[in-house]
Amino acid sequence: MKGTPHRIDLSKIDFEALRRSSTRKGSILKLKGLRVAISNKLSAMVRLNKSRVDYAQKFQELIK
């Protein structure tokens, strides 16, 4: 649908698979790109709705 923002369901991301794939050549750059993309999207979500700050906090915990 045109005009509908693309939504990312963070619960569908397999972080364990991402961790395993990070040992492959070039994967680290892809993971960093994914982390930046998710972080940017979460920042935009929090700016629009402050109640979403818990998503950003959970994401930071996952990254650690």
The pLDDT tens digits for 4-43 are 667 778 788 888 887 776 666 576 777 788 888 888 888 8
Nearest Cα neighbor of 63 from 18, 21, 29, 24 is 18
Looking at residue 3, its pLDDT comes to 58
**pLDDT bucket at 52, cuts 50 / 70 / 90:** confident
pTM of the model: 0.53
Checking 37-44 for CB contacts under 8 A at 24+ apart, the result is 38/8, 38/10, 41/8
Looking at residue 38, its pLDDT comes to 86
Instruction: Count other C-beta atoms under 10 Å from residue 39's C-beta.
Output: 14
Q: At what angle do helices 53-63 and 27-48 cross, to 10 degrees?
A: 160
